[in-house]
Amino acid sequence: MVLIDSVSRFVNGVLASDSNEDESFVDGLLEYPQYTRPEIFLNKKVPEVLVSGNHANINKWRRNESLRNTYLKRPDLLKKIELSKEDREFLKNLENES
């Protein structure tokens, strides 16, 4: 299944044109966490921002979580991308939390 998925992504029309723009490494960062229904599963709750309906806040949360995942798992990637002022402030706060 993994091989079929990997190869079929290169076939025109298999994926919608914008369906893979948020995946890992597309923008140089690791992907943000994914959630689904139900909102509470094994005593873990979906972050409130994701069910708020505020798309600007959801996008900001996704960006910050991508930065967090990359910082924790592949900090070398952060040196290769252009970070906004807001991105740098978020990463600085992460460093201070450590």
Q: Which domains does the chain have, with CATH numbers?
A: 25-40+54-98 (1.10.1270.20)
pLDDT at residue 18 in the model: 60
Question: 7 or 66: which carries more pLDDT confidence?
Answer: 66
Alpha carbon distance 23, 12 (integer Å):
18
**Segment 78-95, tens digit of pLDDT:** 999 999 999 999 999 999
- Do 30 and 72 contact (CB within 8 A), yes or no? no
Model confidence band, residue 10 (pLDDT cutoffs 50, 70, 90): confident
The structure's pTM equals 0.76
